[in-house]
Amino acid sequence: MDDQITYTQKDFKSENEVRWCPGCGDHAIMNSIQRAMANLGRKHEDFAVISGIGCSSRFPYYMSTFGFHTIHGRASAVASGVKCANPNLCIWQITGDGDALAIGGNHFIHLVRRNIDINLVLFNNKIYGLTKGQYSPTTDRGAITKSSPFGTIEDPFNPGKLVIGAGGNFFARSIDSNVKFTQEVFEEAARHEGTSVCEVLQNCVIFNDGVHNAITDPEFRADRQLFLKHGEKMIFGANNEKGIVFEKGRLKAVTIGQDGYTLDDILVHDAEEPTGWLQMLLCSMGLPELPVAFGVIRSVKAPVYDQVLVEQIEEVKASSPIKCMDDLLNSGDTWEVK
């Protein structure tokens, strides 16, 4: 972190015309990312934005940073290579529910497992937008889409559970329309050392408009959104009158002061708990019984791949008698022919 560095959001905008549909949630997410980048105290040339394929993956072209728009599903692998080659970079991987969890599912879980220091932003609109409206691995069971005219017959991935299940150490959830909150989540993700996955619920205005409306509806959202903060009670509702308790092995939403529940019964959020069992339950929370959890659900310190990679090389270099190619060529079993 260099205190001398001051940027604003516009330092991260490129000259390219942004071609997402008017009203697309991607615009807001890009604003949040650009604002977060400006606050990180990192040099502009040390940012690299890596994406796969899909609407969101056009992202690098709209940024003024180094960028690489790769191929479908492979951004996790490409970004891993970039970070290992130069661990000093601040890498942002931009991906969608299809790119990360369907065609790129294997790379995604292995990135998370290795804990390479990459900030992965997963735009989740529960639909394939670029190919015009087929169901994705996060589409709700039964949803009618272009490729499921009678409703899907498969269950979706829950990205948070997938991340924790794969041994991930950082997972946060946000929503496109809440630019300020999303920006804060991104900054926390960027400061986390290791892979950080931020799922952003994003509205596709054309092919899945309103998919998150039940959560975002201004009339009900105070009752349907739980904003988690490490060390604070899990309280929600328009007047902070509701909370989450753990009862009979399950999470339950209660009203404080009713049915004998007091503030003391409400769970305190521990994002740093390593096993992740309760964080997993928080990821699973959903309407209608429970609010949807937002914020940093999991943030655990763990060995970071790219750091250990460099440390191991330095250790071996220090102890090995082989310092250059000529040493290697002449090592071991050699003989002279006269």
Partner 1 sequence: MAKEANVVEKEEVFVRFSGDSGDGMQLTGTLFSDTLALGGNDISTFPDFPSEIRAPQGTVAGVSGFQVNFGNTKISTPGDYADVLVAMNPAAIKANIKFTKHGGTIIFDRDSFNEKNLVKAGYKTLDPIAEDKLEDFNIIPVGVTSLTKETLKDLDLDNKSVLRCKNMFALGLICWIFDLKLDHIESYIRTKFRKKPIIVEANLRVLKSGYNYGENIQELTPRYLVNPAEIEPGIYRNISGNVATAWGLLAASEKSGRELFLGSYPITPATDVLQTLANRKDLGVKTFQAEDEIAGICTSLGAAFAGDLAVTSTSGPGFALKSEGLGLAVMAELPIVVVNVQRAGPSTGIPTKTEQSDLLQALYGRNGESPCVVIAATTPSDCFYYAFMAAKIALERMTPVVLLTDGFLANGSEPWKIPSMSDMPAITPNIAKDAATYKAYARDPQTFAREWAFPGMEGFQHRIGGLEKGITGSVNSDFNNHQDMTDARAAKVAQVVDYVPDLEVLGEQEGELLVVGWGGTFGHLATAVRQLRNEGKSISLAQFNFINPLPANTREVFAKFRKIVVCELNMGQFAGYLRDKEPGFEYYQYNKVMGQPFTVHELVDNFKKHLEE
Q: Summarize as ranges the residues that interact with partner 1 (CB under 8 A).
A: 14, 16, 43-48, 50, 53, 60-61, 63-71, 74, 76-86, 88-89, 106-107, 110, 309, 312-313, 316-317, 320, 322-326, 328-330, 332-338
- Neighbour count for residue 251 (Cβ, 10 Å): 18
CB of 303 to partner 1, least distance (A): 16
CB of 240 to partner 1, least distance (A): 44
- In DSSP terms, 119 is beta-bridged to 92, 196
- Neighbour count for residue 116 (Cβ, 10 Å): 26
Instruction: Please state, in angstroms and rounded to a whole number, the distance separating the CA atoms of residues 256 and 58.
Output: 46
Residue 58 vs 212, nearer CB to partner 1? 58
Residue 92 vs 294, nearer CB to partner 1? 92
Residue 153 vs 337, nearer CB to partner 1? 337
Residue 252's nearest CA partner among 240, 241, 265, 239 is 265
Q: How many CA atoms lie within 13 A of 305 on its CB side?
A: 22
Instruction: Please state, in angstroms and rounded to a whole number, the distance separating the CA atoms of residues 184 and 35.
Output: 9
CB of 176 to partner 1, least distance (A): 23
CB of 67 to partner 1, least distance (A): 4
CB of 196 to partner 1, least distance (A): 18
Residue 66 vs 220, nearer CB to partner 1? 66
Contact indicator for 230, 199 with CB cutoff of 8 Å: no
Measure CA of the first residue to CA of the last residue in the chain; give whole Å: 60
Residue 90 vs 172, nearer CB to partner 1? 90
